[in-house]
Structure formats: structure tokens, C-alpha cells
Amino acid sequence: MNHTASLYNQYKAAAQKIADVKYANAVLQWDQETYLPSKGAAARATQMATLSELAHGLSTDKKLGELLLELNAAEGLNEREKKNVQLSLEDYQKQEKFSGAFVRQMSEAISTSFHAWIEARKQNDFKVFQPALETLVQLKKEEAEILGYQGHPYNALLNEYEKGVTVQLLDNVFASLTQPLGELLEKAKQLPMVDDSFLHQYFPKQQQWDWGMDLIQQLGFDLEAGRQDIAEHPFTTNFSSQDVRLTTRIDENDFANMTWSCIHEVGHGLYEQGLPDDQYGLPCGEYASLSIHESQSRLWENSAGRSKGFWQHYYPVLQTYFPEPLKHVDVHRFYQSINKIQPSLIRTEADELTYHFHVNIRYSIEKEIISGHCSVADIPGIWNEQYRKFLGVIVPDDKQGCLQDVHWSHGSFGYFPTYSLGSFYAAQFFEQAKKEIPGLEQQISVGNTMELLNWLRNAVHQYGRMYTSEELCRKITGEGLNVAHFMNYLSNKIDTLK
């Protein structure tokens, strides 16, 4: 073995050791959101903080830094190996900016904030969450200063989820979409009123669970390399590509809640299971970005899962699970109902058009909080006013308003814009898939989604972090992000709902 290969093996062993600690911590976080008894919260916060601090110590070890610098200048690495070293060096230099004490403090604040959010939702009172969130926001402001930024301080946090994205870019994207989305919304209001009340009949929990488990397997999720559980807010996490955890939630009087949670999260899960297992612990074994991750979930949830062809196959199956609630509902009425465009309160249940107003509202609040132009205490008032202004809905309480999302309790400031970016990438990728897979929509209409999954494995999953979002988009479609594909998709969808 030559010297460069020996150094690379040392680097790989160190990186995988760091991953072991981080994923052990991720197991504790998954458990915290699924099975942890309430009295275990304080001890769990300490345990997770300890592991975060350990992982940070390993990630900033000076010997690792020296090794990465030497490897980064070395000859003899292949393209993937070079990219792993380059990205790991970037990660190292970023982690080096943080003290172990700050990492521990952040971890403890996040655990405290999460449990405060759970309690605030139970009491339906934002003020229960406010003190913990104020502490966390102050730490996120400090994080932005530690990381450094140009222009807006929020740019530092955005870059953690979507490399190169800025407030200026996002402001331009959302500003450019506000009018055309509003015009499409007016067009949608001219559609015949569809009676979707059947979606809010009684759908028993166990049957919903069985249906969801059947569906995620049909879509290709490997239950020998993952599982699904119940959580307060649906999410996906992984501990390797061979251990991916989905979560969902069930409302017995809202069929759509669990079904599209399952389809959405399985999109995330399929991506994680498709990452190269031989790159465990290395950048090329990790997802490209949050918007690319979201493109996978939104592609399955909407481009496939809300398509007419998808339900031509799955609706008869669904009726075997729920014969009574669906016995007088034909497939076209079902299709119209699940695609009904109507301003609403809850982001995760919003239609594909109004969804982006939800995201923009959260984004606008986040950047103002991080810049100091508004305070945490201002959130409910701003939130309620923005919902009235953009969506024309009156927010009745905090649980259906500013307490609905888990993200702020995780300290995930900078995350929300990736939801819209992911939807735009999803439409563009699906359009390309239709060009490259003969008869794709026909295949979906007979229950064959494996060709689509294989295409995504080849076009997206296999590369890990080899490419930025824009580089990957250009590689797949021949152009960078182009929101025209999303607007065309939406306009065409509305035409099929008549």
C-alpha cells in the first residue's frame, strides 16, 4: 500500500469513528421523539449533550486536521476520494470554530426546547415554549457570528442546509412567485367545488397503520433496512443506509394526514437507503443537501403520489382497507379531493400551491428573528397576521398556528426555505424522468414505481455529497434550478381537476 492510500485509510477510519458517535446520538434523538418516557427527558438531554461534545472533540482533533491537509495536497486519489477529503476538510475547519462548551450548550438547549415545545402543544400556549426558544435563538445568533457571513446573518444558517443560498436569492425567488401563485390560486377558485368531506370520516388507527406499512413497502422501502414508528411530527432519520427510520402520525378523522406523511417520508427514506453503503461516515455517503433531500420526498408525495395514474392502481387497494368510508366515492372524486386547492392552517396538510405561502411566512419570520428586527415574543402576532394577509385564514390558537412545526425546537433555523426549493427541484427532476423513462406515467398507473426509483438511485442517490444542488440539477437536467417547471406542473395539475 502506498503512502497516500495509507493516509486515506487513516482518514476513513477517523471519519467513521466520528460517524459512529454521531449516529449513536441520532438513535437517542429518534428515541426521544418516539418512545422516551417523559421523566427521562432531563437525563436524555445530558446524554445527548455528552455525545455531541465527544463527536465535536473527535471532529476537531488536530491530528485529523493535519491528516486532511496532507491528503488534500496529495496525488493519487480518485475523484470520489478527493471530494471526500475536500468536504471533510471544509467540515473540519467549520467545526474548529466552535468550542466543545458551545456544542454542549447548544445540544442541551435543543433538548430542553423540544420538550418545552411538546408541553406547549399540550397546553396550546406559545408562552410555555417561549423561554426555551429565546435561549435557543440567542445561541443560533451566536452560531451565525461564529460561522461568519456576508450580508445578512441568516445567510450563515442557510448555508448549513443549502450551500450558497442567500437571503437575497430567496427574497427574489419568493417575490417572483407571489404573483403567479396568486393568479393560479384565483384560477383554482374557479374549479367546481369538490365535496371532500369523506376524507374526514372515521378511519380506524390500525387500518391506517396497516395501509401505510403496505404502501411504503410497495414503493420500495426495505423494512430489513429500516422501520416506521409514530411521532408528534413526522420525520426521517438514519444511522446508516442499512438502518433508516421513518415516522408518521395518525388522525382517525383525517385520512390524508397519515397517507401523505407516509409517502413524503418514504421519499426521504428511499434516498437514505440509496446512499452508497461503502461510503459510510464519509461525505459521499451523505445526502447532497436539504433541498435535494426534500426533492425526493416531494417528488414521491406529489409528482407520483398525487397523480391520477398512481391512484388508478392504488385506489382499489385502498378501498379494501376502508370499504365503508370509500364505498360511494369514485376514483376521480378521490383524485380531485386529494388535490383540492384551498388555503389552510397546517403546512404539512397544505395543497401544492398554497404550501409555498406557508414556507415563505416561516422564512420571513426566521430571518427577522435572527437579524433582531423582531423578538421571539412577537412570533404569534406576526404569524397570525401573515396567515390572514397571504392565505386569508384566521389562526384560532397556537397549536394550529406557530406551534405546529417541530423545526424551531430543534434549532433548525435556515431549514424551511429548502422545502420550497425541494418542490421546485422535484418538478424539474420528474419532468426529466418522464423524458428518460419510456411510458413512466403508464408504468405508475399499473403500480410499477421501480423504474422511477431506479432512475433516482442512478441520477441522485448514488452521488451523496459529490455535487452541490445546482451542480446535481445541471448534471440531471442540463440546466440549473428553473421554477418554470414547477409552475407548468401546477398549471397542468389544475387543468386535470375539472
In sequence order, the 6+-apart residues with CB closer than 8 A to the CB of 160 are 147, 414
442 grid coordinates? 403508464
CA distance 111 to 44: 8
Residue 236 phi, psi dihedral angles, 5° rounding: -125, 140
| Nearest partner of 162 among 473, 417, 462, 472, judged by Cα | 417
Centroid of chain to Cα 256:
19
Amino acid at 324: E
3-state secondary structure of 230: strand
**What are the beta bridge partners of residue 248?**
230
Active site residues: 265
What is the H or E stretch that residue 438 is in? none
Burial of 361 (0-12, 13-18, 19+ CB in 10 A): buried
In sequence order, the 6+-apart residues with CB closer than 8 A to the CB of 173 are 420, 421, 483
CA distance 190 to 205: 35
Evaluate whether 252 touches 260 at the Cβ level (below 8 Å).
no
Cβ–Cβ contacts within 10 Å for residue 267, how many?
29
